[in-house]
Amino acid sequence: MFVRLLSLLSMMCFSISALATELEVLHWWTSGGETRSAQLLKSMMEEQGFSWKDFAVAGGGGESAMLVLKARAVSGNPPTAAQIKGHDIQEWAKLGFLTNLDGVAQQDQWDALLPDLVSDLMKYQGKYVAVPVNIHRANWLWANPAIFHKVGVDYPSTLDEFFVAADAIKAAGYLPLAHGSESWQDVTLFESVALAVLGKEKYRKAFVDLDMDTLSGEQMVAVFRYFQKFRDYIDPEAEGREWFVSTSMVGNGEAAMQLMGDWAKGEFTATGKVAGKDYVCLPAPGTGGIFSYNIDSFVFFKSPDGIQKEAQEALAQSIMAKPFQKEFNAAKGSLPVRTDIPLDSFDRCSKSSVSAYKQAHNHDNLVPSLSQSMATTTYVLSAISDVVTNFFHDPFSDPEKAADRLARAVKAAL
């Protein structure tokens, strides 16, 4: 009897200590470049004696990952950590699910190391409840230089120039734009067009302030009109294509351009493509000077008796540590969140991104990415996504009606 009790106790201790050192981490980094980047974090944690249970849910933009996470959290079994960002951080914190990270944040001086834009997003009621990973820029155009050279057109810097170049590329028998069919990809394209047409003030009014007149106004009609034109440059096989497949099409010369955030650069890097030679990075047409930011971050779920707090804090500290910030972001295509990481070894696109960030910061040109949950809540974003995607996939869609629908959908989601 006594022996059985002892072995039961030792099994319990074993499973408690196993739980204390286990990190189950939910994320949606499943493409080639993303997996390579996530692997760096896994190795760093394993080197410190933690066991990494990878909870990867495929699907760029994280929509599927968020659904899975909600189901796990509601059933009382959330993972140790999860990739959550933007407005979702506040939502989960409000519900009382998240571990307070203020202890490590103060010890490691996160306030001094992070730009306010980043630290503000990581806090709930003044306390850190998330750790930031990187700063991505969403409004990029990726282009294949060989195709532009063969066709003899210039890289576009405005929307009108885009259509001129795309027409010439199409006439020469190349696919102008690699695109996929997931709604977040449509919203990524829509957001760049909206930034170009509306400019930063009206963009903020529409998607941050959710101003009804701006959402339904004449300029929004113009946004939909331009957006609609992009359909002419996409192939029928776009249906069901994932974003990173589009990226590889640009890298391999199967398509001339892709409008996508700089996680695309992680894909180029992972397949040995070189910036400036195999691909070029330019601001999305009409958005030069503006930096639409997307900040990845992780949150940590409260565990029974705080048993996982130590492991969670170790993960948070590793994410903020210099070696991780440097290596991970060079692989991922993003910028480090810390302002004290030298970027000499980063490629020319990262260097151009950091100078774009600084200039945008100085001229009040930083805007939150709509498609990446930085501008508004998930509810509003999903209402906007429905309108945008339905419009883009309906050959008979009407820009006037779309702007009206957009405003009504947002109103209903508030």
User: Where do contacts with ligand GAL occur on this chain (CB under 6 A)?
Assistant: 28-29, 34, 60-62, 136, 263, 294, 296, 372
Query: Considering beta carbons, is residue 180 or 217 the nearer one to ligand GAL?
Result: 180
DSSP 48: T
Least Å distance, CB 271 to ligand GAL, is: 16
| Least spacing, CB of residue 296 vs ligand GAL, in Å | 5
Task: Quickly tell me which residue has 């990173």 as its tokens.
Answer: 244
**Smallest distance from the beta carbon of 339 to ligand GAL, in angstroms?**
20
Sequence letter at residue 61 = G
Nearer to ligand GAL, 294 or 325 (CB): 294
- Judged by beta carbon, residue 61 or residue 79, the one nearer ligand GAL is 61
Of 34 and 313, nearer to ligand GAL (C-beta) is: 34
CA distance 137 to 367: 10
| Residue 29 vs 163, nearer CB to ligand GAL | 29
Q: Please, which residue, 287 or 329, has the CB nearer to ligand GAL?
A: 329
Q: How far is the CB of 314 from ligand GAL (least distance, A)?
A: 22
130-160 burial string, b = 16+ CB within 10 Å, else e? bbbbbbbbbbbbbbbeebbeebebeebbebe
How far apart are CB 338 and ligand GAL at their closest, in Å? 17
Q: What is the DSSP string of 324-357?
A: HHHHHHHHHT-EESSTT---TTS-HHHHHHHHHH
Give the number of other Cβ atoms within 10 Å of residue 328's Cβ. 23
Token readout for 223 is 């946004």
Q: Cβ of residue 221: shortest distance to ligand GAL, in angstroms?
A: 28
SS3 142: strand
Q: Quick one: 30 or 397, whose CB is closer to ligand GAL?
A: 30
Minimal CB distance residue for ligand GAL: 60
**Residue 226 CB burial class (10 angstroms; 0-12, 13-18, ≥19):** buried
The answer to whether 190 and 359 have CB atoms below 8 angstroms apart is: no
Nearest distance from residue 350's CB to ligand GAL, in Å? Answer: 15
Residue with smaller CB distance to ligand GAL, 29 or 203: 29
Q: Where is 167: in which H helix or E strand? A: helix 159-171
Q: Do 335 and 116 form a contact (C-beta atoms < 8 A)?
A: no
Least spacing, CB of residue 28 vs ligand GAL, in Å: 6
Cα R_g (the chain), whole angstroms: 22
Return d(Cα 130, Cα 102) in angstroms, integer: 10
Torsion of Cα atoms, 326 then 329 then 335 then 341, to 10°:
0
Largest CA distance in the chain: 85
- Considering the complex, state which of residue 80 and residue 369 has its C-beta at the smaller distance from ligand GAL: 369
Q: Minimal distance in Å, beta carbon 263 to ligand GAL?
A: 4
Separation between Cα atoms, residue 157 and residue 288, nearest integer Å:
7
For the chain, the residue count is 414
